[in-house]
Amino acid sequence: MTATSPTHGLRARARRLFGRLGAVAIVASLLTFPAAGEPASAADDEVHPTVTLEVAPAGAILPESALTAGVSVRNDTDDRLTEGVVSLAIDRTPLADGAALDAWLDEDTSTGAFETIATQPTEAVRAHDADVTSVLVPASALTGLAPGVYPLRATLSGATTGVGDDASSWDLTSGSVVVIQAAKPADVSVLVPITATPKNGSLLTADELAALTAPDGALTAQLDGVAGTTAILAIDPSIPAAIRVLGTSAPSAATDWLARLEALPNDRFALQFGDADAATQAHAGLDDLLGPADLSGLIKNSDFATAAPTPNPTSTPEQAEPVLPDNAALTEVERAVPGILWPRGDVTGDDLATFSSYLGDDAVTVLPDTSVDGEVGARATAGGRAVLVTDEDISKRLSAAVVAADPTARDGQIAAAAGHLFLTAAATPDRPLLIGLDRSEKRSADDLHAALAAVSTSPTGLAGLRGAAPVKVESTATPDAGRATSLQAMLDDETRLQAFSSILEQPLVLLAPERNRMLRVIGVGVSDKAFPKRVAEHRSQTVDTLGSVGIQDPAPVQLFTSAAPLPVWIRNDLPWPVNLTLFTQPSDPRLSVQESTPVKGGASSNTRVTVPVEARVGSGEVEVQFRLTSPTGVPIGAAASATVTVRADWEGIGLGILSGVIVLLLGVGVLRTVLRRRRARAAVHTHAAEPDAADTDAAGPASEKESE
């Protein structure tokens, strides 16, 4: 609990008063003479920098012991915060119950008188920085305090920011509790869920595993935090599955992490794959719990060693096949106690009966005490069914501690958790208590270890919890019908995807990731606020997948010959090749087409398909319908159509005209040849009939002489 209460000097107050009067005058003038433009933002929307104080004792203490408390001063102003004095005061009247504890921590409600038990100077704090002061309270100041939970108040005084008229002094208070332990501490167990969500929603990739299991990775922090404690681990089996499915390609850090997890002595049980919520599945009326699809479709054979061939001299040597693990081997959580479910809290009595049908009559369900009505205790029965009940007040405080922003905030939440633990244990002596941390992937190793060390005391683990004498409770939860409806819708989508996946050589490469994503959507750690968005995103992804293969809109076609190929483009946005059948049907018998054409579509590409067509007698426009199916006859994508303009008689007319032209040209050629030859023969005859010119000249004079 933190509080701020700045006190300003007289001049600073006067200055602000005049400033406010000026602001009022300006606002009045604006109301009288409105100006064009956008309205100014409201002053109430401004965030004023401040100084905050937080106090946290370093765990519970034994009676007559000294106390150490950390006091954190954070300066979020733009000015340096000067030195001050912090004092600690205690109310010697112990808090009566958990309600009084929450009222004190959350609302600063306390009826007792506070007594100062320690003072300590604080250091100056730079602007936008913080400083932690350790305050020691001597044992003599706590003399006479019996075991219990006592309000503790810290007060900061004398610290200022700014100078002159802008100076501000800060008188701050913050509250926590001092827990004086009982002689016999309660038997407490803590459930720590270990989960990790991949970005693709299916399985963690090699890169994600390498980052998460690195020395500074989130999964490494989980193991560092629980090491050396008696925490009970609740492990999402999708994490070891993601490591094992990679075989020899798994990062060495990931395989080392898995080996370390398996070597830890902590009790453990397996969550549902992807931390899927069993209650949602029960509300949806499922006959069995959903599990992952066959993960073998995600395995690369090259990542696994081949089996040694059996020598047989009489047979021909065969190619050795790799030894591939099945789902049971991939998802195994070694040494996990079977038959335990940790669903959301909206579990009814009927759901408990359904869980028994899922896992057998020995099934045990982990529930928060807010979902049941009855005596307090970790081991209980509801309607004859075994349950483990977590204390929600302690669980919330401890869950906040392991994700706190700084050590002081963490210690403050641990103190609050210890207070609730003391009060609950006092009300139910000799009964084991159970704490369940919230699902979180942002815990630090130090915070987790500190929180577990502060409250976890049970060395008996799950066996001790299950063997404890049960108390009777009654389930009072109201089921979330919206989640069940959403799950049914996603299962219907999965059925459509199963039919759609028949276009693939290996349907599991599509179906296994889709099932894993659906399980994560209904995960226990998905909040009510985030759930609708997750469902919408998943269903949108399903729609995109179902629409990833289809026929591109064909262009109009002009058919000028009696037979020609008709081009069709098939789009495939999937990263795998697909097998399809293209069916073609004309709207008119003037066009004859090939009814079905097998298609092998490439991965992430467009494939051109040619469909043989033949024009019959007649001309005009014909609509050709195209549709795709899988090899099993499942319709794929939307149907498409193309307009084909048929000119079936143009080919004959063209050939006739061409033939006529050829005949005409041949006839003209023959005629020209005949005429040429006739002219040649006529010329020869004419030349033979006429006397030679030389002979005439020679005979001329003789004739003249003869005539003379």
Tens digits of residue pLDDT in 245-262: 999 999 999 999 999 999
Mean pLDDT of 702-708: 44
Both 639 and 524 in one domain: the answer is: no
Both 351 and 290 in one domain: the answer is: yes
pLDDT of 87 above 60 = yes
Both 59 and 16 in one domain: the answer is: yes
Residue 698 lies in a domain: no
Both 253 and 273 in one domain: the answer is: yes
Token pair recorded at residue 2: 């933190």
pLDDT of 32 above 50 = no
**pLDDT, position 654:** 54
Both 520 and 597 in one domain: the answer is: no
Asked if 391 contacts 415 with a C-beta cutoff of 8 angstroms, the reply is no
**pLDDT, position 666:** 80
Q: What is the DSSP string of 163-182?
A: -GGG-EEEEEEEEEEEEE--
Residue 599 lies in a domain: yes
Mean pLDDT of 539-546: 96
Residue of 513 and 645 predicted with greater confidence: 513
pLDDT-based confidence at 653, cuts 50/70/90?
low
Residue 654 lies in a domain: no
**pLDDT, position 648:** 54
pLDDT of 16 above 70 = no
Domain count within the chain: 4
Both 460 and 553 in one domain: the answer is: no
**pLDDT, position 588:** 81
pLDDT of 373 above 70 = yes
Residue 606 CB neighbour total at 10 angstroms? 12
Both 61 and 166 in one domain: the answer is: yes
Q: Which helix (H) or strand (E) holds 269?
A: strand 268-270
Residue 706 lies in a domain: no
Using the 3D structure, point to which of 544, 564, 584 is the last residue of a domain. 544
Residue 238 CB neighbour total at 10 angstroms? 29
**pLDDT, position 28:** 36
**pLDDT, position 282:** 97
Residue found under tokens 């909206």: 346
CA torsion angle for 396, 400, 403, 407 (degrees, to 10)? -140
Residue 138 lies in a domain: yes
pLDDT-based confidence at 616, cuts 50/70/90?
low
Asked if 292 contacts 331 with a C-beta cutoff of 8 angstroms, the reply is yes
Whole-angstrom Cα Rg for the chain: 45
Using the 3D structure, point to which of 459, 475, 491 is the last residue of a domain. 475
Residue 136 lies in a domain: yes
Both 332 and 208 in one domain: the answer is: yes
CATH number at residue 140: 2.60.40.10
**pLDDT, position 417:** 95
Q: Amino acid letter at 357?
A: S
Both 528 and 388 in one domain: the answer is: no
Q: What count of residues does the chain have?
A: 708
**pLDDT, position 490:** 97
pLDDT, the chain, mean = 86
pLDDT of 689 above 80 = no
Residue 80 lies in a domain: yes
Which range has the worst mean pLDDT, 96-105, 191-200, 581-590, 659-668? 659-668
Asked if 572 contacts 628 with a C-beta cutoff of 8 angstroms, the reply is no
Both 377 and 510 in one domain: the answer is: no
Range of the domain at 338: 188-302+325-475
Long-range contact set of residues 547-550: C-beta below 8 Å, sequence gap at least 24 = 547/637, 548/572, 548/573, 548/574, 549/503, 549/573, 549/574, 549/578, 549/580, 549/601, 549/628, 549/636, 549/637, 550/628, 550/636, 550/637, 550/638, 550/640
Residue 704 CB neighbour total at 10 angstroms? 9
**pLDDT, position 543:** 95
**pLDDT, position 21:** 38
**pLDDT, position 547:** 95
Task: Kindly give the interhelix angle for 252-263 and 218-226, rounded to the nearest 10 degrees.
Answer: 20
Both 535 and 604 in one domain: the answer is: no
Residue 567 lies in a domain: yes
Using the 3D structure, point to which of 525, 544, 563 is the last residue of a domain. 544
pLDDT of 7 above 50 = no
Token pair recorded at residue 155: 């007060």
Both 149 and 260 in one domain: the answer is: no
